[in-house]
Amino acid sequence: MTTTVEYLGSEAEGLLNYKAKVSSDLLHHPGGDFIDRTWKNSDRNPQVLRNLASIYNHGRLSGTGYVSILPVDQGIEHSGGASFTPNPLYFDPANICELAVEGGCNAVATTFGVLGTVARNYAHKIPFIVKINHNELLTSPNTFDQVMFGSVEEAWNLGAAAVGATIYFGSEESSRQIQEVAQAFEMAHQLGMATVLWCYLRNSDFKVNGTDYHASADLTGQANHLGVTIQADIIKQKLATNNGGYIAMNESGTAFGKFHKGMYEDLCTDHPIDLCRYQVLNCYSGRCGLINSGGASGEDDFGQAVRTAVINKRAGGCGLISGRKSFQRPMKDGVQLLNAIQDVFLDDAITIA
């Protein structure tokens, strides 16, 4: 069986032995008592705590404070044909849930339609995270706006442990999305469900002089900070790949946002673990768990998934959410990929940097 070191290749030494710029002493670390340490004295009611616990205490990572989540909303976000042609098995909602179960995931995050079709077969077998808003690609010309596809009450009736939503921070529609999702999260908490926020940036202005800052640590970190402000219990964010988005946005003389030079000198470096740690810091220093996404399927899915898991864990994050890499291949291979991710979080030798 391929080991984590083998998956990491030449990056193994630099990722597994790196000491982060910001001390891990500032963070709330994942662990078996994570909910007691971070949420027990919050305003989350007992039903929310129970549902959070049902997610953290399920699957192969049960009781570790880490999560491995299977997300399958790409049939809407990227079209069914584009998403499921590599493996038509997953046009059937039952197989989506079956992959999450067989893969040892903590939860499955998908659409009203998928979960509504198979709720009575799987709601008691794996925690449901119902994605309540989406961007569809059938409008011409294509638009990019997250709109509600159902109600929080409908998610509750499906037996959901949590609701998930996306906000395109920086977009023209972001103010409306923030208000809609904030209201939805308030209702979800009242009904006893946890909340998961996909914190994405979307604005062509974030591409400056040929460099794309949609995944910069400073801008995604601020998106995380806005996300936890509207009471997301778990933040889903792309792994940071660069930094200096604020600096680049202000170079033309147009004022954008606020930043401090110490963000780049005292709190971060260009090392991927430091870039991710800055994202964790903006999730209330890890009180709200940060999960990074596995990204699109490509040439080295296993290696890239393991790399992302190592960076997330060593930065102080709480897990990974990986979809296309796992379902765009035969189910047994998808299970193997999910297990390879989980093995990183089960390995006590891989510590928080």
Q: Which residue numbers are catalytic?
A: 236
The residue length of the chain stands at 353
CA 160, CA 130: separation in Å to the nearest integer?
6
Calculate Rg over the CA atoms of the chain: 19
CB hemisphere CA count around 262 (13 angstroms): 2
CB count in 10 Å sphere of residue 184 = 20
Which one, of 196, 91, 107, 197, lies nearest residue 159 by Cα? 107
Residue type, 239: L
Angle between helices 301-315 and 331-346 (to 10 degrees): 30
CA distance 314 to 259: 26
Q: Which helix (H) or strand (E) holds 71?
A: strand 67-72
Contact 316, 29 (CB under 8 A): yes
